[in-house]
Structure 1
Amino acid sequence: MKTIGPHRISFTLPYLFVFAFLFYITSCSKDASILTEQEDAVSEDTEEMNDDSSNDDTSNDNSSDTMDIPPTGAVVFNQDFTLDATRSVANYVLPQSDYNLFLEGEGNLKQVSEKAYQYFKDDFDYIIILSVEAVKPPDLFFGRSTLVQNQVQGLGSNTYDNSATYGSEGKLKSIIYMPRTEYIKSGPFLHEIAHSWGNKGIIPTTVGGHWGYASVAGQLGGFDEIEDLGNNTYQGKLNGQNGFGAFANGGNSVIYGDLELYAMGLIGADELEPIQVAVNPEGTQAYGQFTADAIGIYTAQDLINEHGARVPSTADSQKVFKALTIVISTEAISQEKMDEVTSNLDNFSRQAAPDASWGSTKNFWLATKEKATFDFTVTQGNIK
């Protein structure tokens, strides 16, 4: 195996990009189907250039400061915007034409976020938008993460803040859209969250925004072992099996790789093993096999020398993330659907393993090796 140091590899990531990639989503839960070689378009735009605020129907709605909000239970803010009784899911009823835009990959994120900020304070790191499709539209991505701001240094990206574009006063970090509510459980929910930190250029990749042909073995792809087959050909493996994804690895059945945990601020540089990165890789017809000019090696110190130390440090990084979940639909969703969504959000946010209905599927706490959590609850204090 030919190996070289990081000084031999040059790589540049554009600041803004939208990519479409093939990826594999699998789930070990009983009711999740196995999806192979479908389109996964991951948007890491810091601003949705296609959003058209003229479609925003929220300007004439009354804000909740004129309402008598009960301390518990469901809240009807407006005939088209309600908060469920568990106060973990909002339902926004859209006109059919606006809803269809989301199914075409052109949904107006500002329309949803600005609607939410009429009734809720700027207390949320994430806004999660879910459609209620029984089957993913064939030409649509599984999920899209639209980055709103970045204040973390040392990951290969500049800092920026476009939160005002979406009605936030500086708290909102990302808006995630997925066309099916079931993807909270099966994935790609963990994958889309990972785009908040990676891959922004901390290591070279030919698969923009993902780890590609590198030994990260995480939500954004990569192997944990390679076998040199000779003639500059390599077999990538994951968990002892031939094959891996260059941009994803098995939906919510896979925990975050150590480089992902480092990027998230959950482990220190001293816990990172050297990372193998293929130079000029090309995939072959065999699953997980690829050719490369060489295999580069990046140590934690190499990453710090190139990008600087992560700021905030592990000691000061955020460990609890608050999210507002909004289910969009063309009519009020059923109680059965609401119960399904709230159950999956409860499982995803537990500081414990999910219940038996999730099988071996991982929630955020397990995926981060018990180092971080998500909170989906809307408290009385979060309501204007």
Structure 2
Amino acid sequence: MNRARHLSITAAWLAGILSFAAWGLSDDGFDERAKGSGSPAVVSARFTPSILRFDRTTPFTLTAKIGNGVADRVVLTQENGSETAMRDDGTQGDAVAGDGVYTVQLPAALAVAGLQADDVYRKFIGYIDAYVGTSRASRYNTFASIWGAEMGVVNVVTASATAHYSNYVLNIVDPTSFAAGPGDFQSVVSKLYQVLPDQFDFVDVVFDGIHVGNRFHFAVRNDVSGLGMAISNNGGQYGSASRLKGISAFPVNNIFDTVDPGHSHEIGHQWINFLKQAQLATGKPHWPYSTLASGTMGFSIPGSLAGGEYGCVLTPVAAGLQAQKRTQAKVFKDLDLYLMGLLPANQVATHYVFKDQVAAASTSCMGTLPYSLFNAISINDIIASDGPRSPAYPNTQKDFKVAVLVVSDAKLSPEAMAHYHWFAKRAEATELVATHLGFTKESSAPWYLQTGQRSTLSARLRDGAGAGTYVTVFEFFAPSLNHYFRTANAEEAAWLSANPSLGWNPTGKNFKAYARHDHPSTAKPVCRFYGSVSPGPNSHFFTADASECAWLKQIQAQTPAGQPRWNYEEIAFAIDVPANGSCPASAPVPIYRVYNDRAAQNDSNHRYATDTTVYQQMIGQAWKGEGVVMCAPS
């Protein structure tokens, strides 16, 4: 079957290949090659282990397969310019001499030392440089993928010897497909449906390594007219009887992030751009240089199908189009949203396409550009050429599901599962999120914001009772204070238990909850607050009520630090909440809250009781009963 692949140049792919600085194209690249064919270059690479722990102390291995010619020398060049030889002589960790696979063993600190929040668990290692004689023939930028403590360890279900899944990622062990890289998607994706039901609109196929190439998307099924593409249904070839729309491939594991604009871009290719309208068709499968090109879908780089990032926002004004560099996170344009079924036709503005696409590449992004440089395209022009979208808004799908499938040659480690789980779950973000792709670090809009809050994207594979990682919420009592304290942090609980001189004694009245990073959709995040030793209150407070949490944060922001207030610390765990005072069957254990009513003495304390007997005892001691506030799994 002929599959149209829609490629996207990301910030990670442009160095040494193209430079359109006037339009804000990044020059951060993974792959830089000498001109001409036959230049030896990296065709695949991998780290062992594939995902490194943030606290790793032992060396790790980097291997790179060189193709497209023979290299005389391959080195890893670090950011400071120092070189470390990569070997293909069967020694010092290299498996087979002369096979074109070069190996180097590296200290853990190179990957994990100095890791910053804006690295987003991707750390630059260096450049793999291949030389012919004394000339560098190619350069490939390498980034290690890191497991961080906040990712935790997720609950993994073993479906078979070759299939394992968490709430957000399915690992398929397929050495043949892993070695081959992107290609036989029918075989790989069909294995998903041997484990999970046909309930996903999209599948992300992520390779647990590096196969040099860009991400891409192709449609499996299309039931929408008015897009410029034919109605089709090839879902059965991939194991989907009715729902699968398209597949996105990520040949390089460290460019996979469901909150990154590139991920939304690939899904956008399910509908964009196949239009036959003459001026817009010149940009297929993206947009031509135009008012559309500064959005998520970008523009098509002349001479290729690859997508470029067009950083110039063109705004219609009386004298022409005002050109300004984009400063906000990318979002879908109104025509994108119309084609996606998220906006009615009458809300699509007129768009303007440069008449001279070659000149557009070097036109300065400042000042006002006269309308004479552009062709104006209205929604009526598009409908006249391609017909109206059908089904039309509002009778269209708004909520989508994506399954993340990671292909590996061996079962992923717990850290690797948690790492991919974390990046998959980010699809459901509703606020701007820090992203790091290649050398580009920015604040990115997730799908929900990219669509103007018109659509949701869920990456959840399973749900319901038990769909998550259980944690124990321990209780301690300090007789000297007559205070109770809860913690879901096992290390904190162990420390308190091991240091009785601190005055906190375990009561044994513990309950079960879910880890904050891995829980069913019904479970709510529990906010943890602390006052202060002085001016107080010297106590902790927990709430699963989002509005109560937000209210306390607001009070904190409005109250000077020297006055008593509750200070937000973290999301401590996740748990279900009651409906009309009753707990659901999936979380049948009621957790009661009582309050000592000592705010006037600046001595507030709450206890979270696990049964009615304790609850009534506390009320008998003049504590105020506040009823059921949480519901724990049994």
What TM-score comes out, normalization by structure 2 length? 0.43
Counterpart CA distance in 1 for 2:416 and 2:12 is 23
1:353 is aligned with what amino acid?
E
TM superposition shift of 1:298: 1.0
State, as a whole percentage, how many aligned pairs show the same letter: 22
| SS in structure 1 of the partner of residue 443 of structure 2 | coil
Do 2:216 and 2:248's aligned partners in 1 also have CA atoms closer than 8 Å? yes
Bigger Rg over Cα: 2
Displacement of 1:25: 5.4
Assess, with a 3 A threshold, how the Cα gap between structure 1 residues 266 and 38 changes in structure 2: closer, same or farther. Answer: farther
Deviations along 1:247-276, one digit per CA (max 9) or x if unpaired, are: xx99xx411111111111111112111011
Structure-2 change in CA distance of 1:119 and 1:236 (3 Å): farther
Equivalent of residue 311 in structure 1, options 372, 390, 398: 390
Aligned partners of 1:380 and 1:372: how far apart in 2?
20
The residue type equivalent to 1:193 in the other structure is I
The Cα shift of 1:282 comes to: 1.6
Name the amino acid aligned to 1:111.
S
2:431 aligned with 1:353, yes or no? yes
Unaligned runs of 5+ in 2: 14-25, 32-153, 300-311, 437-441, 465-634
After superposition, residues 176-255 of structure 1 pair within 5 angstroms as 176-178=248-250, 179-184=252-257, 185-201=259-275, 203=277, 204-216=280-292, 217-222=294-299, 223-225=312-314, 237=323, 240-241=324-325, 253-255=329-331
Counterpart of 1:241, as a letter, is K
1:164 counterpart = 2:244? no
**Alignment check: 8 A CA contact 1:347 1:354 kept:** no
The separation in 1 between residues aligned to 2:195 and 2:364, in whole angstroms, is 48
- Of 458, 461, 479, the residue aligned with 1:375 is 458
Deviation at 1:367, TM superposition (A): 0.8
CA distance in 1, matches of 2:419, 2:432: 14
| CA distance 1:101–1:149, shift in 2 (3 Å) | same
| Cα distance, 1:288–1:376 mapped onto 2, change above 3 Å | farther
Match of 1:107 in 2: 183
**Native 8 Å contact 1:25 1:187 kept in 2:** no
Which residue is 1:91 aligned to? 171
Aligned partner of 2:21 in structure 1 is none
Aligned to 2:569: none
Q: State the distance in 1 between where 2:388 and 2:431 align.
A: 32
1:37/1:154 CA distance change after superposition, 3 Å: farther
RMSD: 3.5
Aligned in 2, Cα 1:98/1:187: closer, same or farther, shift over 3 Å?
same
Alpha carbons 2:227, 2:274 under 8 Å: kept: yes
Q: Is the 8 A contact 2:427 2:458 kept in 1?
A: no
Asked whether the equivalents of residues 22 and 37 of structure 1 are also in contact (C-alpha less than 8 Å), the reply is: no
- Flag the structure with more relative contact order, 1 or 2, with Cα contacts below 8 A and sequence separation at least 6: 1
How many angstroms apart in 1 are the aligned matches of 2:345 and 2:404? Answer: 33
For residue 182 of structure 1, report the CA deviation from its aligned partner. Answer: 4.4
- Asked if 1 retains the 8 angstrom alpha-carbon contact of 2:221 and 2:232, the reply is yes
Cα distance change, pair 114–218 in 1 and its aligned pair in 2 (3 A): same
Change (3 A) 1:108 1:300: same
Distance 1:166 1:293, change over 3 A: farther
Deviations 1:207-250 (A, max 9, x none): 321102121132221553189xxxxxx9995xx228xxxxxx99
The alpha-carbon deviation at position 371 of structure 1 amounts to 0.8
**Gaps (5+ residues) in structure 1?**
1-14, 27-33, 40-71, 228-233, 243-248
Q: CA deviation at 1:285?
A: 6.9
Q: Does 1:77 align with 2:163?
A: no
Q: Distance in 1 between matches of 2:373 and 2:288?
A: 15
* Change beyond 3 A, Cα 1:115–1:23: closer
Match of 1:174 among 246, 251, 258: 246
Aligned pairs (5 A) from 1:266-285: 266-279=342-355, 281-282=357-358
Structure 1 255/313 Cα, relative in aligned 2: closer, same or farther at 3 Å? same
Partner residue, 2:222: 150
* 1:197 CA drift (Å): 0.7
Question: Which region of structure 1 is more displaced relative to structure 2, 319-328 or 180-189?
Answer: 180-189
SS at match of 1:348: helix
CA–CA distance in structure 2, aligned partners of residues 146 and 101 of structure 1: 19
The corresponding residue for 1:8 is: none
Q: Could you tell me whether the CA contact under 8 Å between 1:22 and 1:38 is conserved in 2?
A: no
2:158 counterpart of 1:121: no
Distance in 2 of aligned mates of 1:20 and 1:353? 27
C-alpha separation between the residues in 1 aligned to 2:190 and 2:455?
Answer: 28
Paired positions, count: 301
Task: Please report how far the alpha carbon of residue 123 of structure 1 lies from its aligned counterpart in structure 2 after TM superposition.
Answer: 1.4
8 A Cα contact 1:348 1:354, kept in partner? no
Partners of 2:463 and 2:260 in 1: how far apart? 30
Change (3 A) 1:17 1:177: closer
Output the CA distance in 2 between the equivalents of 1:114 and 1:365. 28
2: CA distance, partners of 1:210 / 1:162? 23
- Residue 356 of structure 1 and its aligned partner are, at CA, apart by 6.3
More strand by share: 2
One-letter amino acid of the structure 1 residue matched with residue 171 of structure 2: N
